[in-house]
Amino acid sequence: MLKVVILVFGAAVCYGQNVKLPVQEPIENITELHNGLTEKIGNFSIEVLFHTSKTLQDGQNFIMSPITVWSVLAVIAEGAAGNTRNEINNLLRLSVRNRDSTRTGFKNITQWLQVNTNTVKLAKVNAIFVDKERLPIHDFQETAKEFYQTEMITLDFKESVQSANLLNNYIANFTRGKIPNLVDPSYFQDTQMVLTSALYFKGQWTMPFNSSSTVKMPFYDTNGQKIGDVNMMYNRHTYPFSNIRELQARVIELSYGNENRLSMVIMLPNPGVSLEDMFANFKKVNLDTFFEELRVSKEEYSDDEVDCFIPRFKIKSDLDLTNVLKNRMGIEELFDQSRAQLPFMSRTPMYVSKVIHKAEIEVTEEGTEAAAVTAAEFSNRIGVVQFQANRPFTYLIIEKVTNSIVFGGFYKTPSLY
């Protein structure tokens, strides 16, 4: 039985420079896609972030792209049968009965995951690298291409070094060099195909930070003990801000570009509440309620300024999600050589050996020229809400038309970046 290697990766760069764009139609005038599928993908995204965090070393920072993990599993489900398909569908919250609506729904969502303006770039690509001697079933190829925008790229897997170089160059070009070496030649041993899903994001803050306001400040653990220092960026702006009691967290939204399409949402647990405990509270708060809280906050308190302090940071993650999916999220047969059922993908018996996820994020105020007063002068102003991410927090980069979580991660251990 031949094995399939799944590679999921993404790169996010968040720069502060602000470039003027022509006035565009506001997001409120666009038909929203907050349907059943987007909520299912969102719930999966929260779940995979939570379970991935539980498998890492204590205090480890990480970044991942949940929607790319969802999409590559959805493609595999199209080729699966029996309990293998049931396990995947249960995790993705899908059913065979609603397969047509899932296909068209995801196709519609994907259209919004393509942005190319002066201030925001978001692009998604799926590709299956296949051995020229063992092409997938034609119907599977057509379904993957039409509904999941997944291209088939033929390689000679016997020439493992050449195949690795071609695949790595493909990914490096797409991620603008952020992920240059995804695989090595060993990935092609006894392998019939390599499934990849990639997301690239580069955004400039709508309201940029001023580098002259960035100062070194202490960073604490959940219990209030100092564990290091960070270069803390500062800005004062009318950010959407809410104290969501059910989550036991304070939440702030920082937008990108002038189109109001993408934003970073930072969730800061209340003092004494861990990130894991805060995430567990999503059992009581669905994502639509979460986003509605922020929308109402923006409308009702649009004139209220917030003193916002967030660290400048860079995180690279190289994650093996095999055990996360297998041992914590209920997908077992797919990784079992003797039990995996993928008859609609290939006529040759196949199973998945690994799910590898690589991602990188960089958050900085680089390039900003905005005038601002230093953080010390603003920090004690009376009547201004203060959001200070000086203890472990989680961050999500959201595409707001579909409420898709394109990137997410935890920041627990400080560094002077």
**Does residue 312 surpass a pLDDT of 90?**
yes
Q: Are residues 179 and 197 in the same domain?
A: yes
Choice among 57-71, 290-304, 400-414 with the minimum mean pLDDT? 290-304
What residues pair up with 152 in beta bridges, in sequence order? 128
In this prediction, residue 334 carries a pLDDT of: 93
Give the pLDDT mean for 330-349.
92
Q: Residue 294: which domain range?
A: 211-311+367-411
Q: Are residues 247 and 327 in the same domain?
A: no
Q: Are residues 302 and 322 in the same domain?
A: no
The tokens for 39 are: 């909520």
In this prediction, residue 383 carries a pLDDT of: 55
Q: Are residues 75 and 222 in the same domain?
A: no
Q: Are residues 389 and 347 in the same domain?
A: no
Alpha-carbon gap, residue 75 to 110, rounded angstroms: 14
Choice among 47-56, 78-87, 179-188, 218-227 with the minimum mean pLDDT? 179-188
**Does residue 117 surpass a pLDDT of 80?**
yes
Q: Are residues 160 and 247 in the same domain?
A: no
Q: Are residues 96 and 33 in the same domain?
A: yes
Torsion sign over Cα 2, 143, 356, 278:
negative
Q: Are residues 340 and 319 in the same domain?
A: yes
Number of domains in the chain: 2
pTM: 0.88
Q: In the chain, what percentage of residues exceed pLDDT 90? A: 48
Question: Is residue 262 a part of any domain in this protein?
Answer: yes
Torsion sign over Cα 89, 66, 26, 306:
positive
> Residue 224 region, left (φ>0) first, then alpha (ψ -120 to 50), else beta?
left
Top-ranked range on mean pLDDT: pick from 10-19, 129-138, 182-191: 129-138
Q: Are residues 232 and 325 in the same domain?
A: no
Query: Tens digits of per-residue pLDDT, 260-284?
Result: 789 999 999 999 999 989 988 988 8
Q: Are residues 94 and 225 in the same domain?
A: no
**Does residue 347 surpass a pLDDT of 60?**
yes
In this prediction, residue 384 carries a pLDDT of: 66
Question: Is residue 75 a part of any domain in this protein?
Answer: yes
